[in-house]
Each structure stands twice: as structure tokens, then as C-alpha cells.
Homo-oligomer: A and B are copies of this chain.
């Protein structure tokens, strides 16, 4: 349970240390780790040798190292630390965060942890491989102070999605979240709760039985190491992961100006489908859904059933969230490195070779070596500011 044996222990330990030493969601920190590598990044931060702006993000915790304890504690509760170097890392799902982080200004958001940036590592509790479970998944989110109507609809949607082979991802909270998890469980399907605290903690406490049932076949996921408390701002950081891991987000019930609308906005920013369930206009818990549906700019799709949801996430098609497979023959003739660089290319905004190297897990020299062949095969193109896949490649 302690991770794939192919990944060096020092890498996993470095990322475990990072997951406690720094709050996730900072684009400056993520870039520093991507560029230096996790081991060197952790060493630099411990030595106080990281660039000042990055060093400041680690703060007082750099003197401590509880990474061995954290990994052991995870193992005791049936959890593991999944790192980007693992096979089960959800590369495809999280690609949208890599693309989004490339849009952030280089000097941006040093002081904030709400950037659309990939996680440095994920603590995962449950047996099944992470990437496989979230591959065909939809987020069902909504109010904690839900109504019986909203809970009924959330459970029905999750149940129907399960029957169609889709995984429901939610936040494990009271109300809509819990109803969604329960609906999936009732259909005998895996469901995923992305938490804002350690995966060894049941929060809310009254959900310990629900989480125990969920762990039979599903997963609890968190960016924070075991024992961490569900601090208020962590929910906002966590919400980007729910949006990123899934093909689309359904808001089942939401009050006016609620967090669910913010989650929906993030899903939209990540190129994911945003959906909302209508309800009685007399219900305060449907006001947020109706606002989403009326906001033509945000383009939320009205859904009333699991069939609607599957149709809506299906409609997103290629080109919005993930580069589709390029033509088989052109792709087959590529080297392993070239293939990884191609997979690292975003669909819309072009990114520099440095970023491609970071995502593909190779050197910048490697990237510059394979790009001409990819360009010649019309698989990638230069936008003037960076590289992206061509429409030909993403359509194929």
C-alpha cells in the first residue's frame, strides 16, 4: 500500500514532506517543485535555499520532518501517498490544471493558495487505482443545508450514473454530498470523496459509517497528510480538485451566491462541463442553480436525470478538456519521449518547452529535440507564445 515500487522512496518521502510543509494550491510552489524536482525542492526548502518568494510559502514548518511518520500513519489506515511519478496518478484528468497553471503569470499568486494548479501529491485511502476510478467520473455537489428534494435528486442522479458506469465524486459533506455518495453506494458502485482534511479523519464525524461503506469499493482522497484538520480555506482549495478530477460538475442545490457557484466557475475555467438541476422557484436552495442556468456566459446545462448528465459530459467532446489520441500511425512511429511531450501539449493555450519538459518528465533538451518531428507530423503547433496540439491531432 505504500506506492508503486518503481518510484524511488526518496521521491515519495520528499512529496510527503512537501504535502505537510506547504499548503497546496500555490502556483509558485508547484512550479518550483516541477522545475527542481521533488527531492531537490524539498532539500532546498529545508535548507532555506529556495527563492525567497517560494521559501516564504513554506514558513515555519520547514524545520520539521514527519514524513516517515505520515507515511506510516497512512499505511495503518489503509492509505497511500500517490505521487505524479506513479502509474495511478490521474494524468489525463489533472491535465486541465497543468494547462490552467500555465496561464498564471510567472510572478502571480505567491501569496495565495487558490490557484488552478495540480496537486503535489494525493493521499488516497481505498484499494482501487486512483486514475482508473476517476476516469469516467462526474462531480455532484451542492448545499449542506439541502432539502429532501435535493437529496432525493442527488441520490437518484448518482444511482443512475452508477448504472451507466460513471463514478460519482463529491466532498463527503452533509446534505447533497452525502446523498450523492449514498446513491452511488446503493447501486453497488464505487464513489469518491475528496476531503479537506486527512483521509484518516471522518469529517463530519457522523459520516464515519458512510466513509467506512464508501471504502469497500471507493476512495477517500486528500491533498493534506493524515491528521490534518478541515480548515476553512482548505475547502476552497479542495473544490478545484473535485472539478479537475471529473468530466463535469453538477450543482444539485445551491443557495444564492454560494460556494457551489464558485465551484461551478472553476469547473468552467478548467474546460469541464457545468450542469445544474432546476428546482422549485419557491425554494431558496434552488436559487443558486437557477442563477447558474440563467447566466448565459457560464453556460450551465440544465439536467434532470443521469441520462441528461451523461449526454452533457459526452457533448463536451474532445478539444475542451483533453487532447484526444492523434492518428494511430503518426503516433505509433513516435519515440517514447516524443509521445510524452505530445501528451503534455495542451489543446488551447500554448506552453513553453520548459513546461512541456516538466509535464512530460524529461529535460528541456529532450523537448527541443522531439518538437520538430511532432511539428512535421502536424501533431503540434507554435502559437506565437507556446506549443499546443493541432486540431488535427486532437480531433483524430
Contacts and interface: CB of A to CB of B under 8 A. Distances in A.
Contacts of A282: 149, 152-153
A312 B282 CA distance: 19
Interface string A274-295: 0001111110001100100110
Contacts of A149: 280, 282
Interface in A244-289: 277-282, 286-287
Interface string A300-333: 0110110010000000000000000000000000
A281 B279 CA distance: 7
Interface string A341-360: 00000000000000000000
Contacts of A152: 282
A281 B294 contact: no
Interface residue range, chain A: 10 to 19
B304 A281 contact: yes
A278 B279 CA distance: 6
Nearest to A299: B296
A147 to B, nearest CB: 10
Contact of A153 (B281, B287, B290, B304): B281
Nearest to A278: B278
A277 to B, nearest CB: 6
A264 to B, nearest CB: 15
Contact of A294 (B280, B286, B294, B302): B302
Contacts of A280: 149, 279-280
Count chain B CB atoms within 10 A of each CB in A153, A280, A293 and give the residue with the most: A280
Contacts of A277: 281
B293 A278 contact: yes
Interface of A: 149, 152-153, 277-282, 286-287, 290, 293-294, 301-302, 304-305, 308
7 contacts: A149-B282, A277-B281, A278-B279, A278-B281, A290-B302, A293-B302, A294-B302
Q: Lowest 4 A-B CB distances belong to which pairs?
A: A278-B278, A281-B304, A294-B302, A293-B302
